[in-house]
Structure 1
Amino acid sequence: MAHLDEARYGRTCLLVLNVCPFTLRQVIDDYFTKQGSPDIQDFLEKNKHNLYHIMAKKCCCRLIPSRVTPMYRSQWDLLYKRNLSPCKGKCSVGGDCPCKFDAIPGITSNVMDITLCCLVIKNICQGAAINMTHIDKIRDIRNKLIHASSATLDEPTFNGYWSDVKTAILDLANMVSPTVHTDTVKMIQDLETRVMNRYELEELKKVIVTLHKVEEVYMYY
């Protein structure tokens, strides 16, 4: 029974940490394409100011930063690099400001994990036909898994998590294209029939522990 509970936990973690990011990256790519950006570098550059306010502890202007979905500096550094230019605007804070950063050349959405995907979608993919309730559900279950007191799931909890995430991610995939939906279905089906051995579960636990520690270091409110 203990191994079954661990296997349920492991399978659900893989659904959230592997399958969901694949589809959410397609959601982001689809969004910036429809917004007229030729690539995600251009899209990030256009939305740099908004993301900076989510990440920075100080305001660069009079806009009050949101703390609903905070951004870690480590996440910002995956998307932007410092430049040597002086401030191009009328920023009121000394030191760093968004003018002093550029979107990383040649960047793709593949650098984004599930947390960063959810953050970008929630904060800068506005006005799109994206069901944000799905994003909230996926993010909530992800956090419950990462911060769980034990790496196990009983059958009722597993069934609830699996159903909620599967419904959400397939609906989002279908919004993008039939191809993305088909690819997502295939990935989920592979997980549903996958048998996780002890070694895989132990390696996955190490990943979860690392994620938990990183969030404890960078968390601020």
Structure 2
Amino acid sequence: MSRDNQRHYFIVCSVIIEIVTPVFRQRIEKDFKSKRFGCLQDFIDSKPVKHILFHLRFQNKKCCQDSNNCKNLRVLPLNYSQWELLYTENPGPPSKPKHHCHCLYTINNVKLDDFDITLASLILLNCCNLTPNEEESIHKLRSFKNKHLSHNTTGAIPEKEFQILWNDLMTYVLRLDASKQDDFIMIQNRPLDESMCKDYFVRVVDFHKKFEQVSNLFSFLLNQYSMC
């Protein structure tokens, strides 16, 4: 495996973690402040947002509030860990009939820094007011992360693929925040040390893949970078 191709992989990891994810978080903050929410918790705990996220996590549920807008999705994009990060379930009063509804959940002490690119993009695309260009950019950037990093079991990106991807990353990020040009240059030119490589790999890999594939790749990458 080419060392240059491995470097391409970790350069893209750096862009996703250091540029894309913070830009997504800032866009969430811009949205909830424009709606006059005092803080992130107030926004995530608001009934419309909580209702939307509830149905991104649970199937075949009818809420006691706003039941006309309940949705039953075949695929649930919000996973258990993401939901548990946001909310804690409180048991209803004994006098109330048993049901499962977003009204039983209260917001946790969650911060924007807790949101990875996946959770941030879900909230942006489902709970925020976006322009068509913003929506397209968020879809594209999330798909780049999944295709080129999370589902990449080789830990490498070939040169031709990297050049196309690099240009696309810059295009869609700069649509969202035109001030990030210098950040791209800094990431492309700096050396990546072993500890950064290990940390970034863990943060972007899809652990829903076979454990053997992940374990083998991780061992291989550690061996490679221990020789740097």
Alignment of 1:70-219 (within 5 A): 70-86=77-93, 94-105=98-109, 107-126=110-129, 131-144=134-147, 145-174=149-178, 181=179, 184-197=180-193, 200-208=196-204, 211-214=205-208
- The percent of aligned pairs where both chains have the same amino acid is 25
**Corresponding letter in the other structure for 1:41:** Q
1:193 Cα deviation from its structure 2 partner: 1.1
SS at match of 1:32: helix
- Give the whole-Å Cα distance in 2 for the aligned partners of 1:109 and 1:215: 27
Corresponding position of 1:40: 40
Identify if the C-alpha distance between structure 1 residues 68 and 120 changes in structure 2 by more than 3 Å, giving closer, same or farther. farther
- Give the whole-Å Cα distance in 1 for the aligned partners of 2:195 and 2:201: 10
1:52 Cα deviation from its structure 2 partner: 0.2
Deviations 1:125-146 (A, max 9, x none): 1355762110111011000121
Check if 1:31 corresponds to 2:52.
no
Corresponding position of 1:8: 8
SS at match of 1:212: coil
Identify if the C-alpha distance between structure 1 residues 111 and 201 changes in structure 2 by more than 3 Å, giving closer, same or farther. closer
- Give the whole-Å Cα distance in 2 for the aligned partners of 1:169 and 1:67: 31
- Give the whole-Å Cα distance in 1 for the aligned partners of 2:28 and 2:132: 12
SS at match of 2:71: coil
**Corresponding letter in the other structure for 1:168:** Y
**Corresponding letter in the other structure for 1:78:** L
- Give the whole-Å Cα distance in 1 for the aligned partners of 2:124 and 2:137: 11
Report the number of matched residues: 202
- Give the whole-Å Cα distance in 2 for the aligned partners of 1:127 and 1:213: 30
TM-score of the aligned structures, taking structure 1 as reference length: 0.80
SS at match of 1:37: coil
1:35 Cα deviation from its structure 2 partner: 1.1
TM-score of the aligned structures, taking structure 2 as reference length: 0.77
- Give the whole-Å Cα distance in 1 for the aligned partners of 2:126 and 2:171: 22
Identify if the C-alpha distance between structure 1 residues 79 and 172 changes in structure 2 by more than 3 Å, giving closer, same or farther. same
Unmatched runs of 5 consecutive residues or more in structure 1: 175-180
- Give the whole-Å Cα distance in 1 for the aligned partners of 2:210 and 2:62: 26
Deviates more, 1:108-117 or 1:158-167: 158-167
1:97 Cα deviation from its structure 2 partner: 1.8
Identify if the C-alpha distance between structure 1 residues 120 and 160 changes in structure 2 by more than 3 Å, giving closer, same or farther. same
Asked which structure has the greater CA Rg, the reply is: 2
Identify if the C-alpha distance between structure 1 residues 78 and 153 changes in structure 2 by more than 3 Å, giving closer, same or farther. same
1:203 Cα deviation from its structure 2 partner: 4.7
- Give the whole-Å Cα distance in 2 for the aligned partners of 1:159 and 1:120: 30
1:198 Cα deviation from its structure 2 partner: 5.1
SS at match of 1:38: coil
- Give the whole-Å Cα distance in 2 for the aligned partners of 1:20 and 1:68: 25
- Give the whole-Å Cα distance in 2 for the aligned partners of 1:55 and 1:85: 19
Contact 1:32 1:39 in 2 (8 A): yes
**Corresponding letter in the other structure for 1:39:** C
- Give the whole-Å Cα distance in 2 for the aligned partners of 1:99 and 1:130: 34
